[in-house]
């Protein structure tokens, strides 16, 4: 399938980083989650690029970017994001982070607060211990042996056959299912699999999330902050977002009642309206 938006690349510290850079105006940067890519934000580019500069990188280990052996911590991702902004000549940005990307933009705010104008957290990681069972299982010993079996051609072929039958019956899968399936398929690639395990184990253990921004949320108290969550999120529970909002004075919460972990994909039109309203009000 052709890429829905044009993707550029730059070599930073010896590793190629893919990114989308469209439009003009005040920049807004979108940071995807674990096993995601810039494609998860593609529907927003056309809507925002008429009045904003939209930047959407593929994190190292994801999408079109390199998948090196190395540091996949939140701090490392935040530093690479800073280096990309330097390369693009961008000083201050509005930051939007989904899931793992939420943890990364929170880390970015902690490390480089002078470079952030507004903050949007979408089903964000780093705000509590709970996280979905599948991600916790990926941190267990032996996951390196199990994941290739789950992502094998044999399993994928049979699962796709079931999906085709459901589609013919008129059943449309939720974004949680389609994105989860896309992520699983990507793990058939050994380099992607290695990067996934390194990234997940840097923030998760068998008991849940190991990195939390909660004690430092006061550091973003001066930032206009929007939290967007799906009420049916089974990966990171809504209560994390509610509790975080209570710790960030003046923050705004938007709950998508019918959405799961990907509210920006379950209801893209509403998400775009909410986002545009937020950035215009906070201007």
Per-residue model confidence as pLDDT tens digits over 170-200 = 656 677 888 887 888 899 999 999 999 999 9
Confidence at residue 2, expressed as pLDDT on a 0 to 100 scale: 46
The answer to whether 42 and 5 are in contact (CB under 8 A) is: yes
Residue among 233, 240, 251, 264 flagged as catalytic? 233
Residue 1 has pLDDT above 50, yes or no: no
Strand partners, 55: 21, 29
User: What's the pLDDT band for 113 if we cut at 50, 70, 90?
Assistant: very high
Left (φ > 0), alpha (ψ -120 to 50) or beta: where does 252 sit?
beta
Longest dimension (CA), the chain: 52
Identify the helix (H) or strand (E) that includes residue 27.
strand 27-31
Q: How far apart are CA 76 and CA 103, in angstroms?
A: 12
Residue 110 has pLDDT above 90, yes or no: yes
Tokens of 249: 């004075």
Reported as a single tens digit per residue, the pLDDT across 209-252 is 999 999 999 889 889 999 999 999 999 999 999 999 999 999 99
For the chain, the domains span 8-130+211-281, 135-198
Mean residue pLDDT of the chain comes to 90
Confidence at residue 165, expressed as pLDDT on a 0 to 100 scale: 60
Cα dihedral 273, 275, 278, 283 sign: negative
User: What's the pLDDT band for 159 if we cut at 50, 70, 90?
Assistant: low
Catalytic residue status for 77 = no
Confidence at residue 172, expressed as pLDDT on a 0 to 100 scale: 65
Residue among 38, 98, 261, 264 flagged as catalytic? 261
> Rounded to the nearest 5°, which phi and psi values hold at 28?
-125, 130
Strand partners, 98: 122
User: What's the pLDDT band for 15 if we cut at 50, 70, 90?
Assistant: very high
Residue 111 has pLDDT above 70, yes or no: yes
Confidence at residue 45, expressed as pLDDT on a 0 to 100 scale: 87
Residue among 37, 65, 77, 99 flagged as catalytic? 99
Q: How far apart are CA 52 and CA 283, in angstroms?
A: 12
Reported as a single tens digit per residue, the pLDDT across 47-63 is 888 889 999 999 999 99
Catalytic residue status for 32 = no
Compute CA 144 distance to the chain's CA centroid, rounded to the nearest angstrom. 23
The answer to whether 232 and 107 are in contact (CB under 8 A) is: no
Q: Decide if domain 8-130+211-281 falls under CATH 3.40.50.1820.
A: yes
Catalytic residue status for 99 = yes
Confidence at residue 105, expressed as pLDDT on a 0 to 100 scale: 97
């Amino acid at each position: 399938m052709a890429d829905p938006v044009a993707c550029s690349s730059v070599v930073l510290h010896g590793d190629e980083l893919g990114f989308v850079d469209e439009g003009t105006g005040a920049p807004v940067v979108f940071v995807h989650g674990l096993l995601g890519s810039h494609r998860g934000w593609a529907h927003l580019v056309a809507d925002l690029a008429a009045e904003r500069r939209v930047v959407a990188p593929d994190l190292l280990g994801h999408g079109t970017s390199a998948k090196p052996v190395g540091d996949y911590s939140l701090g490392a991702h935040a530093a690479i994001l800073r280096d990309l902004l330097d390369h693009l000549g961008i000083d201050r940005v509005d930051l939007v982070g989904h899931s793992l990307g939420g943890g990364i933009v929170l880390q970015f705010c902690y490390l480089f607060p002078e470079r952030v104008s507004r903050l949007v957290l979408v089903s964000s990681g780093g705000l509590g211990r709970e996280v979905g069972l599948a991600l916790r299982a990926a941190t267990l010993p032996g996951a390196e042996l199990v994941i290739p079996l789950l992502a094998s051609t044999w399993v994928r072929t049979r699962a796709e056959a079931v999906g085709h039958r459901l589609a013919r019956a008129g059943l449309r899968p939720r974004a949680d299912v389609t994105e989860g399936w896309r992520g699983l398929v990507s793990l058939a690639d050994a380099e992607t699999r290695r990067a996934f395990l390194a990234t997940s184990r840097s923030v998760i253990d068998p008991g849940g999330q190991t990195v939390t921004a909660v004690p430092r949320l006061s550091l973003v108290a001066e930032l206009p902050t929007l939290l967007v969550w799906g009420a049916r999120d089974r990966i990171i529970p809504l209560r994390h977002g509610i509790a975080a909002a209570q710790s960030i004075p003046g923050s705004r919460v938007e709950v998508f009642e019918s959405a799961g972990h990907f509210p920006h994909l379950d209801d893209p039109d509403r998400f775009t309206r909410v986002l545009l309203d937020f950035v215009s009000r906070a201007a």
